[in-house]
């Protein structure tokens, strides 16, 4: 088992070692896993191509370490607990032995469909235990999974499937969320109609048993194919640098890119961070309420906890169903020890008042986690006081899809906590702040652009099918540095606070969105001439989506707004629908024709008085008219 930090002195010592001799440090951690063949070298890297390799020529299999490795002493321990959307429905659980058997059956079924090492599989499933099983089954046979968040549209599935050239899609029939019963298979059907030519099989898990359309050519039922398989399936021997998974995420330009993670480094880092950030102890019940469609779910529902031999709770539903006490009811029911969620959920629940958390016994909670977006002071205090009763330290964990695992965080009971500060780097992480010219800012009490100096085991290796895009996006802004795209502040004592994105990426309810992506979707409406999208402060979502739209041939009314929203939902998914649509006659542009988003951001944020210099604008007159029509 990877090292678990004991106290502040231990953290400082480990951190020092990890910076002074990263290879030795990670070698020691990696040795706590199973290597079918030892690696020859710990790390090779440069940030110019970029090329990063960890545990070179080592052979392993992450599903083996998640499952088989625990069977001698944890076969009967619960690996996954599953809580359904309906509180009155049957909850289920899987011991490590049961999970092993189910994963093997699924892996054998995938093999029967001709899926093998390196083949890409798209997964579009709600938060069912089968989703975790599918991830591990892919890992077991060396297939590369790419989970598409179950709220994305058919177009989004088709784009990702085509980019990954996936051979298979795995989905369910429907998705139960709160009062809703959302069609899932029907969305895949539509995706298959508009693209997905590489797909040979669609494997469908029956969740609700609702009606579905069926194509005998490609569709196969899970219940016909999986349960009758053998519960043994040898774990494929993977090279540490073989592809493990692709996860698509939004950037400041173009379509979402496929962030590539590889097997060995991801295994070591997801487990190491899980054990340390949550201070997981044997017997604890750990719950991360994220969706497996995002990196947090990959690393902190499935891989990190299972690698660490933990009991990980999965929840199918939403925080406000049947009422705003559901999270706390579930915490009480399972005596959850570590609870990990997003600020947007905390803010939404806070709005329902203190009586909900007060109704439940939350005394089991030892650690509270926050992830995905900046947590504001008010939400931090509410979480700390009303949920943790001042006794459960909050770990405000910072990381990105590209990072694979948590980068900056307090350590509960070990380092102090300060509202809104993600605080300290994990051992092995060397964050620095630079100014816009890339010069390192060494003093404390400053703001700067957040970069990382040295690779860690689960840094992204490439963007699928387009290495140049990876170089451009993360490694070309500043020489020899990984650039996060985030701005950060460092206080007097060296704690880091993440301020937010400095590029055209916005974070809406913890969902990462590219403004260009939303604009492209809006522009699909035939009556839209041009649009510009910016983020603005939103009390619950963190950031809301504000769209400025130019159209000449339509009545500029709510009907038109609805149509635009429908187009965005079709192109990306309902989560990308603008909160505000303002019709404008022009957009502020520089002489070279670039939209000056700074101006639009200020107007949307009700800070028009702080717009600043407009002398480089080609059409400064539009600014006044946009200001007149502002909608927030
Ligand atoms: C933001 C989510 C402030 C940040 C795990 C980053 C945060 C983006 C925090 C990545 C935090 C994540 N405090 N901001 N604790 N955690 N972010 O790829 O802007 O969906 O760049 O990964 O979320 O989002 P992603």
**Index of the ligand 1 atom closest to the CA of residue 485:** 21
Percentage, residues of the chain above pLDDT 90: 97
Confidence of residue 624 (pLDDT cuts 50, 70, 90): very high
Q: Give the pLDDT of residue 253.
A: 84
**Index of the ligand 1 atom closest to the CA of residue 408:** 15
Q: Give the pLDDT of residue 630.
A: 84
Q: Give the pLDDT of residue 254.
A: 84
Residue 98, C-beta contacts closer than 8 angstroms, at least 6 positions apart? 79
Rounded distance from Cα 400 to ligand 1 centre (Å)? 5
Q: Give the pLDDT of residue 631.
A: 82
Question: Residue 82 forms beta bridges with which residues?
Answer: 92, 314
Which residue minimizes the CA distance to atom 10 of ligand 1?
400
Q: Give the pLDDT of residue 392.
A: 98
* Strand, coil or helix: 293: coil
**Index of the ligand 1 atom closest to the CA of residue 249:** 18
* Strand, coil or helix: 531: strand
C-alpha gyration radius of the chain: 24
Percentage, residues of the chain above pLDDT 70: 100
Mean confidence (pLDDT) of the chain:
97
SS (H, E, C) 569-621: HHHCCHHHCCCEEEECCCCCEECCCCECHHHHHHHHCCCHHHCCCCCCECCCH
* Strand, coil or helix: 220: strand
Q: Give the pLDDT of residue 612.
A: 87
DSSP state of 8: H
Strand 542-550 to 219-221 pairing: unpaired
**Index of the ligand 1 atom closest to the CA of residue 294:** 20
Question: Residue 489 forms beta bridges with which residues?
Answer: 447, 497
Ligand 1 mutation pick, 261, 400, 409, 495, max ligand atoms within 8 A of CB: 400
Q: Give the pLDDT of residue 252.
A: 86
Per-residue pLDDT for 632 more than 80? no
Q: Calculate mean pLDDT across residues 273-300.
A: 98
28-37 pLDDT, tens digit each: 999 999 999 9
Q: Calculate mean pLDDT across residues 501-528.
A: 96
Question: Residue 238 forms beta bridges with which residues?
Answer: 60
Question: Residue 498 forms beta bridges with which residues?
Answer: 488
Cα–Cα separations (whole angstroms), residue 135 to 170, 446, 579: 10, 42, 34
Per-residue pLDDT for 438 more than 90? yes
CB burial class (10 A; 0-12, 13-18, 19+) of residue 408? buried
252-277 pLDDT, tens digit each: 888 999 999 999 999 999 999 999 99
Which residue minimizes the CA distance to atom 15 of ligand 1?
398
Per-residue pLDDT for 43 more than 90? yes
Angstrom distance (rounded) from CA 336 to CA 331: 5
Rounded distance from Cα 198 to ligand 1 centre (Å)? 33
Rounded distance from Cα 259 to ligand 1 centre (Å)? 15
Angstrom distance (rounded) from CA 413 to CA 398: 18
Q: Which residues line ligand 1 (CB under 6 A)?
A: 249, 294-296, 371-374, 396-401, 422, 484-486, 498, 500-501, 507, 512
Angstrom distance (rounded) from CA 275 to CA 473: 31
Number of other residues whose CB lies within 10 A of the CB of residue 73:
10
Question: Would you say 291 and 575 are in contact if contact means Cβ atoms under 8 Å apart?
Answer: no
User: How far does the chain reach from its first CA to its final CA, in angstroms?
Assistant: 52
How many whole angstroms from its chain centre is CA 366?
24
Rounded distance from Cα 77 to ligand 1 centre (Å)? 33
Angstrom distance (rounded) from CA 422 to CA 407: 9
Which residue minimizes the CA distance to atom 3 of ligand 1?
374
Q: Calculate mean pLDDT across residues 199-207.
A: 98
Rounded distance from Cα 512 to ligand 1 centre (Å)? 8
176-190 pLDDT, tens digit each: 999 999 999 999 999
Least confident of 24-33, 352-361, 613-622: 613-622
Which residue minimizes the CA distance to atom 22 of ligand 1?
400
Question: Residue 162 forms beta bridges with which residues?
Answer: none
CA angle 576/578/582 to nearest 5° reads 155
Q: Which of 291, 256, 290 is nearest to 157 (CA)?
A: 256
CA angle 97/404/130 to nearest 5° reads 35
* Strand, coil or helix: 336: coil
Backbone φ, ψ for residue 390 (5° rounding): 70, 5
Per-residue pLDDT for 16 more than 80? yes
Angstrom distance (rounded) from CA 412 to CA 421: 13
76-113 pLDDT, tens digit each: 999 999 999 999 999 999 999 999 999 999 999 999 99
Per-residue pLDDT for 403 more than 90? yes
Number of other residues whose CB lies within 10 A of the CB of residue 118:
11
Per-residue pLDDT for 337 more than 80? yes
Q: Calculate mean pLDDT across residues 408-419.
A: 97
Number of other residues whose CB lies within 10 A of the CB of residue 16:
12
Rounded distance from Cα 399 to ligand 1 centre (Å)? 5
149-170 pLDDT, tens digit each: 999 999 999 999 999 999 999 9
Q: Give the pLDDT of residue 557.
A: 96
Element (H, E) at 488: strand 482-490
Which residue minimizes the CA distance to atom 8 of ligand 1?
400
Question: Would you say 184 and 150 are in contact if contact means Cβ atoms under 8 Å apart?
Answer: yes
Which residue minimizes the CA distance to atom 14 of ligand 1?
373
Q: Calculate mean pLDDT across residues 275-288.
A: 98
Ligand 1 mutation pick, 372, 383, 513, 575, max ligand atoms within 8 A of CB: 372
């Amino acid at each position: 088992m990877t090292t678990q930090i004991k106290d502040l002195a231990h953290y400082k010592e480990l951190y020092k070692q990890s910076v002074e001799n990263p290879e030795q440090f990670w070698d020691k951690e990696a040795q706590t896993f199973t290597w079918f063949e030892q690696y020859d070298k710990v790390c090779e890297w440069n940030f110019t191509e970029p090329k990063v390799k960890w545990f070179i020529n080592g052979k392993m299999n992450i599903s083996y370490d998640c499952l088989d490795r625990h069977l001698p002493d944890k076969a009967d321990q619960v690996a996954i607990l599953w809580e359904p959307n309906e509180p009155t429905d049957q909850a289920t659980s899987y011991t490590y032995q049961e999970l092993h058997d189910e994963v093997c059956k699924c892996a054998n079924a995938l093999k029967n469909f001709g899926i093998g090492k390196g083949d890409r599989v798209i997964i579009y499933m709600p938060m069912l235990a089968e989703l975790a099983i599918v991830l591990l089954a892919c890992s077991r046979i060396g297939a590369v999974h790419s989970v598409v968040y179950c709220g994305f549209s058919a177009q989004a599935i088709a784009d990702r499937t085509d980019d990954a050239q996936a051979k298979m899609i795995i989905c369910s029939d429907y998705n139960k969320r709160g009062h809703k019963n959302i069609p899932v298979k029907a969305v895949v059907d539509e995706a298959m109609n508009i693209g997905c030519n590489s797909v040979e099989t669609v494997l469908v898990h029956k969740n609700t048993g609702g009606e579905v359309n069926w194509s005998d050519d490609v569709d196969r039922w899970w219940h016909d194919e999986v349960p009758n398989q053998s519960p043994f399936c040898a774990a494929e021997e993977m090279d540490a640098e073989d592809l493990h998974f692709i996860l698509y995420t939004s950037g400041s330009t173009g379509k979402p890119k496929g962030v590539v993670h590889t097997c060995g480094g991801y295994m070591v880092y997801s487990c190491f961070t899980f054990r340390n950030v949550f201070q997981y102890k044997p017997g604890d019940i750990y719950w991360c309420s994220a969706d497996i469609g995002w990196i947090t779910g990959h690393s902190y529902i499935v891989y990190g906890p299972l690698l660490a031999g933990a009991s990980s709770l999965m929840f199918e539903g939403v925080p406000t169903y049947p009422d705003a006490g559901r999270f706390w009811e579930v915490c009480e029911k399972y005596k959850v020890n570590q609870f990990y969620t997003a600020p947007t959920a905390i803010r939404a629940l806070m709005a329902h008042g203190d009586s909900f958390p007060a109704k439940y016994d939350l005394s089991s909670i030892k650690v509270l986690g926050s992830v995905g977006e900046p947590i504001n002071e008010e939400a931090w205090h509410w979480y700390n006081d009303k949920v943790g009763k001042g006794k459960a330290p909050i770990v405000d964990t910072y990381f990105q899809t590209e990072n694979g695992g948590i980068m900056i965080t307090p350590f509960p009971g070990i380092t102090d906590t300060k509202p809104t500060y993600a605080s300290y780097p994990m051992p092995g992480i060397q964050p620095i702040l630079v100014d816009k010219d890339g010069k390192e800012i060494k003093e404390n009490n400053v703001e700067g652009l957040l970069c990382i100096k040295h690779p860690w085991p689960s840094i992204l290796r490439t963007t699928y099918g387009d290495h140049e895009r990876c170089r451009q996006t993360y490694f070309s802004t500043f020489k020899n540095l990984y650039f996060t795209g985030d701005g950060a502040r460092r206080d007097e004592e060296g704690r880091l606070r993440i301020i937010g994105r400095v590029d055209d990426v916005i974070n809406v309810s913890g969902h990462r969105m590219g403004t260009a992506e939303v604009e492209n979707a809006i522009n699909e409406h035939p009556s839209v001439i041009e649009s510009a999208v910016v983020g603005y402060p939103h009390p619950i979502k963190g950031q809301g989506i504000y769209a400025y739209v130019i159209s000449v041939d339509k009545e500029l009314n709510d009907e038109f707004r609805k149509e635009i929203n429908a187009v965005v939902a079709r192109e990306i998914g309902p989560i990308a629908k603008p909160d505000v649509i303002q019709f404008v006659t022009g957009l502020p542009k520089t002489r070279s024709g670039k939209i000056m988003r700074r101006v639009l951001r200020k107007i949307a944020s009700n800070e028009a008085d702080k717009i600043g210099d407009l002398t480089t604008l080609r059409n400064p007159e539009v600014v006044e008219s946009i200001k007149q029509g502002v909608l927030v």
